[in-house]
Amino acid sequence: MAEKEGFYQRVVRNNNRKKIFRLIRKRRMITKLEISQILGLSITTVSSNIKELIRKGFIKESGYGESTGGRKAQLLEYLPDSRYSIGLELKENHGRVILADLDCNIIKEKVYTDLDLSNLVKCTIRILNSFIEEVNAGDKLLGIGISLPGTVDVEKSILESAPNMGIKRADLSKLRLAFGVPVFMDNEANCSAYGEYEFMELEDQPLFFISVTEGIGGAIIVDKKLYNGKNHRAGEIGHITINFEGENCSCGNKGCWERYASVRALERMISRKGLTEFSGLDEIFSAYSKNDAMKKIIDEYAANISYGIRNLLMIFDPSIIIIGGEICRYENQLLPEIKRNVFQNNDFYVETDVDIVFSVLKENSGIIGAVLFVIDNI
């Protein structure tokens, strides 16, 4: 039968299995009849996919549910620890690696600071092999997801540009075959957007994820998929011009949004006002309620963030904008002022038109998103 199955049948079968697996993951315990009713699939299709999922150990038969008149229905139980995935988050000065179960619970975590960026492939293989040996997940290892700090050509596995790492066009395709399990990679903002999208169970609402760190990155999910654009640069919103006579940006342009709304920009605003006694974001944001000068700077910074958001609303009209990155922990100090500036004097948008929220996964959104690429693509 397998030889005769054409491409179309194979795609349909894989999609059905994916839908069934995702439903069981969401519901934890469910019967075949419920799956068939919820997904609108025939009992025969559900049964054959369930058989395969049981054979592979992702789920098991587990007792019986309420009777609906006839025989009691067999319950199927989701087994989150039946497989593990590895997530790697590469940054300019460290690599963070996690082992996660199918629910994305972090089982083990390690940070490697001895990166040799002159040979990224070799360095990544070394880190991952050392972690794989340590966790010893054997056959239970499903795959590896990698979050990269730059623009990525996902099809060719090329890290095209990572200015903070001083990297231009690093070919990472050798990583695909280096570990005996599937390897997925994408840029940090895309990984984060995907992580948030899955955790918030957003279905088909268009989403824009903004990552505010040293610079500003972004990612777009539309029709349940990441949208990368023709040149893999869609969502690179840090370099939209918000002030055409403004400050010089590292990209060569003037007045880019990230010159005013990145974490570096906030630090510059603080040092210009001479508030040098505060260092680190925790100290800066905890001064918000105690220090009037700091409150003023942070409010101005929140307004700077809102200018870019107003632009992207007009271009993209998303259902939800998620703000993540290094500022993700300071929602209380930033979000009210961001929203006030986005919606005041705005003829096009009122607050009920779009949700503007902070990341739910916080600093784990990129690495969990990388893990979810593995889980959702197997």
Residue 223 vs residues 85, 159, 217, 220: alpha-carbon distances, Å? 26, 25, 21, 10
Closer CB to Zn ion, 60 or 168, in the complex: 168
Distance, CA of 125 to CA of 144 (rounded, Å): 11
Closer CB to Zn ion, 65 or 255, in the complex: 255
Q: Closest separation between CB of residue 253 and Zn ion, Å?
A: 4
Q: Closest separation between CB of residue 236 and Zn ion, Å?
A: 9
- DSSP, residue by residue, 79-119: -GGG-EEEEEEE-SS-EEEEEEETT--EEEEEEE----GGG
Closer CB to Zn ion, 95 or 150, in the complex: 150
Closer CB to Zn ion, 68 or 250, in the complex: 250
Closer CB to Zn ion, 241 or 319, in the complex: 241
| Beta-carbon count within 10 A of 100 CB | 27
Distance, CA of 369 to CA of 194 (rounded, Å): 5
Q: Closest separation between CB of residue 254 and Zn ion, Å?
A: 8
Locus of tokens 């260092």: 279
Q: Closest separation between CB of residue 255 and Zn ion, Å?
A: 8
Q: Closest separation between CB of residue 241 and Zn ion, Å?
A: 8
The H-or-E segment that residue 47 falls in is helix 43-55
Q: Closest separation between CB of residue 369 and Zn ion, Å?
A: 25
Closer CB to Zn ion, 62 or 243, in the complex: 243
Q: Which residues bind Zn ion (CB under 5 A)?
A: 239, 249, 251, 253, 256
Q: Closest separation between CB of residue 311 and Zn ion, Å?
A: 14
3-state helix/strand/coil string of 317-377: CCCEEEEEEHHHHCHHHHHHHHHHHHHCCCCCCCHHHCEEEECCCHHHHHHHHHHHHHHHH
According to DSSP, the residues that pair with 225 across neighbouring strands are 222
Contact 224, 338 (CB under 8 A): no
Closer CB to Zn ion, 50 or 249, in the complex: 249
